[in-house]
Amino acid sequence: MPSISTVLVCEAQVPFVHGGAELHVRGLVDELTRRGYRAERVSIPFKWYPKSELLAQAAAWRLIDLSESNHQRIDAVIATKFPTYFVRHPNKIAWLFHQYRAIYDLAGTPYSEFEHTEGDVRLRDTLIGLDRDALGEARRLFTNSRNTAARLARYNGLTAEPLYHPPPLAGQLKSGPLGDYVLSVGRLEGNKRVDLIVGALAHVLPGVRLVVAGEGPLRQSLEATAAEAGVAGRITWTGRISANTLVDLYAGALGVVFPPFDEDYGYITLEAFLSRKPVITTTDAGGPLEFVEDGVTGLVVEPSPEAIGAAINRLADDRRIAQSLGDAGYDRVRAITWDGVVDRLMANGR
């Protein structure tokens, strides 16, 4: 393969919404630059509704030719999530964060607008086939987790190599004494299931609080749920906060509660472990289960407020166990580095 020096990292972003995928793209561009590549981010706004818009979004990326810029060759592109992998390039590398999950295993669940109707099934089948073809063009195919790779194999018949990356705060995180609160981090959206944590607080010892770090469309309904459960006075809602404040919250927590539904990766798990904090997650959490082992690096429970509440009480009752779990979590993830990511993505490229 010819030497690679110029790389474009492709990003699809909903305007005014910044989540894990956007942070990962920026982190990758920074690390490629640090390693001597001429790297830049290419972003197109993403809109998923009405459903037919998904085909237009795929077509928009398909129209983009990134083989050169200003008459200079672009040596490689790295596609990241739907629909960036529809981009045309002779040396397309795919590091798949996620496809459009609503047409895959989430279809027919409360987390998807796709139902088992004739029109939805037809559109879903079309998109899955297009995904298969576009991702099949990639010279090298990676995913961000085993969970994502398994979904790709199941629905698209494609084999990918899982490639873990460090979380956005990796270089800033620190450990601290176990405090009197458990921490929830992430956007307040349905599939993150913060409602389970709020409900769990009603089953938790009175001396333990909950800090919810994040913002999103469900903030108001979650506050109403807390009021109905009689735990509103024990919850702090931070909204958008600085990285330094979040680092301090991780450092002072008793543990981190992260119960998403079938998450692809879940870098919050890694941020907790790098802060030496145990993680409470659920049996259907997906990606976090690649790192959280019950009784070893955290606690894995059924997705119910009662089970999560009991797990929080277990940490509060025995802080030596809580610290031991957090230390084991740190050992589990400390070897995940950006250098490892760049080495695998760009292997044989120089």
Residues 6+ apart with CB under 8 A from 176: 248, 251, 252, 275
Rounded to two decimals, the pTM is 0.86
- Dihedral of CA atoms 289, 292, 296, 301 in degrees, nearest 10, equals -70
Q: What is the DSSP letter of 324?
A: H
Q: Do the Cβ atoms of 147 and 96 come closer than 8 Å?
A: no
Provide mean pLDDT across the span 285-306: 96
Q: What is the pLDDT of residues 189-228, one digit of tens each?
A: 999 999 999 999 999 999 999 999 999 999 999 999 999 9
Cβ atoms 87, 59 nearer than 8 A: no
Residue 240 phi/psi, 5-degree rounding, is -70, 130
Q: Please report, for residues 4, 96, 113, 143, 209, the alpha-carbon distance to residue 21 in angstroms, rounded to integers and kept in the order given.
A: 24, 10, 21, 13, 29
Fold adopted by 6-163:
Rossmann fold (3.40.50)
Residue 336 φ then ψ, to 5°:
-80, 115
CA–CA gap between residue 123 and residue 22 (Å, rounded): 27
Query: Given a cut of 50, is residue 350 above it in pLDDT?
Result: no
Q: What are phi and psi of 8, to 5 degrees?
A: -110, 135
Q: What is the pLDDT of residue 266?
A: 87
Sequence-distant (6+) residues with CB within 8 A of 263 are: 147, 191, 285, 286, 287, 288
- Sketch the domain layout of the chain as residue ranges: 6-163, 181-333
Q: How confident is the model at residue 67 (pLDDT cuts 50, 70, 90)?
A: very high
Residues 278-284: what's their mean pLDDT? 98
CA distance 209 to 27: 33
Q: Residue-wise over 155-164: b if at least 16 C-beta within 10 A, else e? A: ebebebebbb
| HSE-CB for 182 with a 13 A CA cutoff | 31
Helix (H/G/I), strand (E/B), else coil: 7: strand
Q: What is the pLDDT of residue 349?
A: 54
149-164 confidence digits (pLDDT tens): 999 999 999 999 999 9
Kind plus residue range of the DSSP H or E element containing 328: helix 319-333
70-89, pLDDT tens digit by residue? 889 999 999 999 999 999 99
pLDDT digits (tens, 9 = 90+) for 121-152: 999 999 999 999 999 999 999 999 999 999 99
What is the rounded distance in angstroms from the CA atom of residue 288 to the CA atom of residue 270? 9
247, 272 contact by CB (below 8 A)? no
Specify the pLDDT at position 1: 41
**Residue 4 confidence class, pLDDT cut points 50, 70, 90:** confident
Instruction: Give 334-343 pLDDT, tens digit per residue.
Output: 999 999 999 9
Pick the CATH number of 181-333 from 3.40.50.2000, 3.40.50.300, 1.10.10.10, 2.60.120.560: 3.40.50.2000
| pLDDT tops 70 at residue 43 | yes
Q: Can you give the pLDDT at residue 23?
A: 81
What would the pLDDT profile of 94-117 be if each residue is shown by its tens digit?
999 989 999 998 888 888 999 889
Q: Indicate if 181-333 has the same CATH topology as 6-163.
A: yes
